[in-house]
Structure 1
Amino acid sequence: MSTAGVAASRALVDNALKIIEGFGPDDWAADSACHGWRVHDLVTHMGFFFNFIADPNLVLPDNPSGQSERLNDAAVRERADWTADQVVDYYRTQSEAGLATLEALQGPDFAAATVDMLDLGTYRLAALADAVAFDHLVHLVCDLLAPRGPIADGAVDVAAAIDPAVDWMIAGLPQMCRAALHPVLTGPIGLRLTGATERTFVLDRGADDTVVVTETRDLPTDVATTDAVDFLSWATTRTAWRSAVTVTGDRAAVSAVLDAVDVV
């Protein structure tokens, strides 16, 4: 279950609507910190994610790459000429429908069901709430709002969303980054998050070329310590980890692992 993910997503939608409803033409046209996307594109993407979740009959853009990022780019291009009013209406309508769907997916009828998400891996349907919390939190905090983004004013409920967002990232790491991580995981590496949440994990090799991430207080010698909000940024390769991480133990071993992290 991820009822916390639903609550986080709902809080972030409230935050997003309060922010975007005050935009002027220059705000919509500004470049976000998400490479290649304007603020306009960023908001349509957030609406599209809800649309994807809520409408099983949604016709997706052509995506021969099979990559989720290219699907998102194609969906943004389809909506690139919408007016600001269309974007706000789309986001409001799809977020309402999407939140209702996320709530339903927490029920017992869906507890054991899974969904394949292209190159991202396979997840429980209930975990889509964590995915939305992650997606919204990253886009709002890292791409839209200052100091990284172009919008100076806006409040985001980081405390409500950080744990579901981290849950998605930890679930995704072994699937999204396995090919890059497995060769460089020569021993267990600890990950300590601080600040908005206090959590610790160990990354290690599993059987059959897999990667295993375990939440535990028992950390190995080699550890990367980082602020949890900074983790959102560097683990998605928006910023460099070297300016945000303190390494203890074997720096070369930890560096090789952190260089291989790229969560979507």
Structure 2
Amino acid sequence: MSTTGVAASRALAANTLSIIETFGPDDWAADTACHGWRVHDLITHMGFFFNFIADSTLVLPDNPSGKSERLNDAAVRERADWTADQVVEYYRAQSEAGLATLEALQGPDFTDATVDMLDLGTYRLAALADAVAFDHLVHLTCDLLAPRGPIAGGDVDVAAAIDPAVDWMIAGLPQMCRVALHPTLTEPIGLRLTGTTERTFVLDRGVDDTVVVTETGHLPADVATTNAVDFLSWATTRTAWRSAVTVTGDRTLVSAVLDAVDVV
């Protein structure tokens, strides 16, 4: 279950509506820090994610590329000519429907149910709440709002959302980054998150060519320490990790591992 993910998604949806309802034409047309997307495009994408969840089939549309990012780009293009009012109403309707579905997915009937998300991997349906918390938190704090984004004001409930967002990232690391990560993990490394949340993990090789990430208080000698909010930015390759991470131990080893991290 991820009831914290549902609560975080609900809070972030409310934050998003409060922010976008103040926009004027220039705000909607402004470029975000998400390359190639205007504010208009970013909000339709966030609504589309809720739309996917609210669809009872939970099957991704046809996408020959097999890449989730291409699916997102296609959804944005389909809605590129909508008016601002259409975007706001779409986001409002889809977030309400998506949140209701996320709540239902926490029930016992879905305990073992999973969803295939193309190149992102396979996840428990209940964990989609964490995915929404991650997606919204990153887009709001890294892409939409200042200092990196074009919108100067807006409140985001980071404290409520940071742990579910991190849960999604940790679940995704072994699946999204396995091919790049596995060769670099000649020794296990620790990841320490600080600030809004305090958590520690170990990244290591599993059997065959798998990668395993374990939450534990017992860290190896080689550790990367970073603020949890900064982790959202550099682990999604929006910013460089070298300006946000303190390395203890073998810097060459840790650097190679962090260079291979790219969470979507």
Alignment of 1:93-104 (within 5 A): 93-104=93-104
Q: Does residue 260 of structure 2 align to residue 260 of structure 1?
A: yes
**Matched AA of 1:159:** A
**Matched AA of 2:14:** D
For the structure 1 residues 108 and 96, does the alpha-carbon distance in structure 2 shift closer, same or farther, using more than 3 Å as the test? same
1:251 aligned residue: 251
| Count of aligned positions | 264
Q: Residues of 1 paired with 2:184 and 2:59: CA distance?
A: 40
Alignment of 1:200-219 (within 5 A): 200-219=200-219
Superposed displacement of residue 59, structure 1: 9.2
Alignment of 1:107-118 (within 5 A): 107-118=107-118
Alignment of 1:117-128 (within 5 A): 117-128=117-128
1:226 aligned residue: 226
Q: Does residue 106 of structure 2 align to residue 85 of structure 1?
A: no
> Which segments of 5 or more consecutive residues in structure 2 lack a partner in the other structure?
none
1:73 aligned residue: 73
Superposed displacement of residue 62, structure 1: 5.0
Q: Residues of 1 paired with 2:94 and 2:127: CA distance?
A: 18
Q: Residues of 2 paired with 1:210 and 1:62: CA distance?
A: 28
Alignment of 1:100-249 (within 5 A): 100-249=100-249
Contact 2:120 2:176 in 1 (8 A): yes
Contact 2:193 2:225 in 1 (8 A): yes
Q: Residue 160 of structure 1 aligns to a residue in which SS?
A: helix
Q: Residue 16 of structure 1 aligns to a residue in which SS?
A: helix
**Matched AA of 2:115:** V
For the structure 1 residues 130 and 58, does the alpha-carbon distance in structure 2 shift closer, same or farther, using more than 3 Å as the test? closer
Superposed displacement of residue 56, structure 1: 3.4
Contact 2:54 2:94 in 1 (8 A): yes
Superposed displacement of residue 39, structure 1: 0.4
Q: CA RMSD in A?
A: 1.1
Q: Residues of 2 paired with 1:85 and 1:63: CA distance?
A: 29
Q: Report the TM-score when normalising by structure 2.
A: 0.98
**Matched AA of 1:4:** T
Q: Residue 239 of structure 2 aligns to a residue in which SS?
A: coil
**Matched AA of 1:256:** A
Q: Identity across aligned pairs (percent)?
A: 89
Q: Report the TM-score when normalising by structure 1.
A: 0.98
Superposed displacement of residue 61, structure 1: 5.7
Contact 1:61 1:74 in 2 (8 A): no
For the structure 1 residues 111 and 159, does the alpha-carbon distance in structure 2 shift closer, same or farther, using more than 3 Å as the test? same
**Matched AA of 2:185:** L
What are the superposed Cα offsets for residues 196-238 of structure 1, whole Å, 9 maximum, x if unpaired? 1000000000001100000001000100000001000000000
Q: Residues of 1 paired with 2:61 and 2:200: CA distance?
A: 39
Superposed displacement of residue 64, structure 1: 1.8
**Matched AA of 1:214:** T
Q: Which of structure 1's runs of 4+ aligned residues deviate more than 3 A?
A: 56-62
**Matched AA of 2:108:** P
What are the superposed Cα offsets for residues 30-54 of structure 1, whole Å, 9 maximum, x if unpaired? 0000011000000000000000010
Contact 1:51 1:58 in 2 (8 A): no
Superposed displacement of residue 55, structure 1: 1.4
Q: Residues of 1 paired with 2:101 and 2:39: CA distance?
A: 26
> Which segments of 5 or more consecutive residues in structure 1 lack a partner in the other structure?
none
What are the superposed Cα offsets for residues 167-224 of structure 1, whole Å, 9 maximum, x if unpaired? 0000000000000000010001000000110000000000011000000010001000
Q: Residue 202 of structure 1 aligns to a residue in which SS?
A: strand
Q: Residue 7 of structure 1 aligns to a residue in which SS?
A: helix
1:34 aligned residue: 34
**Matched AA of 1:205:** R
Superposed displacement of residue 63, structure 1: 2.4
Superposed displacement of residue 60, structure 1: 6.2
Contact 2:60 2:117 in 1 (8 A): no
Q: Residues of 1 paired with 2:262 and 2:7: CA distance?
A: 26
Q: Residue 77 of structure 1 aligns to a residue in which SS?
A: helix
Q: Does residue 23 of structure 2 align to residue 20 of structure 1?
A: no
Q: Residues of 2 paired with 1:63 and 1:218: CA distance?
A: 42
